[in-house]
């Protein structure tokens, strides 16, 4: 039995593969699946992976992730691969890619940043200044962001 078959194959929806081991719960929160009671979700954690050692896999039924959701995903699972499933077949494959400029993905976590006033109309912006290790700063105030804190502040 292949690793992907640990849970039933889905008819329509999205498979998020190669999530770093242990991060699937964060991905669920990040994609707001945890508050959506209408979507069946299957979760596999800590399965062996040739690519990243151990991985988590998510199968989300009857929902296709948008590009904006993929951008958010890049914050915690930059190596994830996405398959959109239609009628049991892979209809589309996508790779998560972390952009240099993250617009309206997350709110700056610094309490004295100008963007803390949510009535200010310009978009939230973050800059990726380093990819390995991941280092993200607010475009406006320049503060380095704690990635875990940033996940809590996803828009």
Partner 1 sequence: MGDLVTMDDLTNDEILSVLGDANRLLPVAKGTLHLPLLEGKVLANMFFENSTRTRMSFEAAMKRLGGSVLNFSSVGTSVAKGETLFDTMQMIDGYADIAAIRHPRQGAAQYSADSVEIPILNAGDGAGNHPTQTMLDLFTINNSHGSLDGLNVILVGDLRYGRTVHSLSHALVRFGASLTMVSPTSLRMPKEIVSDLRSHGAEVNEAESLQDQIPDADVIYMTRIQKERFPDEDEYAKVAGIYKLRASDLSGVKKAMIVMHPLPRVDEIDPSLDSTDHAKYFEQAFNGVPTRMALLCRSLGVEVPKKVS
In the shown chain, the binding pattern of residues 49 to 88 toward partner 1, with x for contact by CB under 8 A and - for none, equals ----------------------------------------
Q: Is 47 an interacting residue with respect to partner 1 (CB under 8 A)?
A: no
Tell me how far, at minimum, the Cβ of 28 lies from partner 1, in Å. 31
**C-alpha to C-alpha distance for 27 and 40, rounded to whole angstroms:** 15
Neighbours of 113 (CB within 10 A): 16
Contact, 85 vs 91, CB < 8 A? Answer: yes
Number of residues that make up the chain? 155
Contact in structure between 54 and 21 (CB atoms under 8 Å): yes
Candidates 11-19, 25-33, 63-71, 110-118: pick the segment binding partner 1 (CB under 8 A): 110-118
User: Using the rule CB under 8 A, is 153 a contact of partner 1?
Assistant: no
Whether 108 contacts 124, CB under 8 Å: yes
**DSSP designation for 39:** S
Q: Does 101 contact partner 1 by CB under 8 A?
A: no
Q: How far is the CB of 130 from partner 1 (least distance, A)?
A: 10
Shortest Å distance, C-beta 54 to partner 1: 31
Q: Which residue has the tokens 């699937």?
A: 24
Residues that bind partner 1 (CB under 8 A): 108, 110, 112-117, 119-122, 137-144
């Amino acid at each position: 039995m292949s690793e992907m078959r640990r849970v039933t194959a889905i008819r329509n929806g999205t498979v998020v593969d190669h999530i770093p081991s242990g991060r699937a719960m964060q991905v669920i929160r990040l994609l707001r699946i945890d508050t959506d009671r209408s979507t069946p979700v299957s979760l596999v954690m800590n399965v062996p992976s040739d690519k990243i050692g151990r991985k988590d896999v998510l199968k989300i039924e009857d929902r296709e992730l948008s590009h904006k959701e993929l951008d958010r995903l890049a914050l915690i699972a930059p190596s994830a691969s996405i398959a959109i499933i239609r009628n049991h077949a892979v209809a589309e494959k996508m790779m998560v890619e972390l952009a240099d400029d993250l617009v309206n993905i997350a709110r700056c976590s610094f309490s004295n940043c100008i963007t803390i006033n949510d009535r200010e109309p310009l978009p939230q912006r973050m800059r990726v200044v380093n990819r390995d290790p991941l280092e993200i700063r607010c475009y406006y105030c320049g503060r380095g962001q704690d990635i875990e804190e940033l996940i809590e502040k996803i828009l």
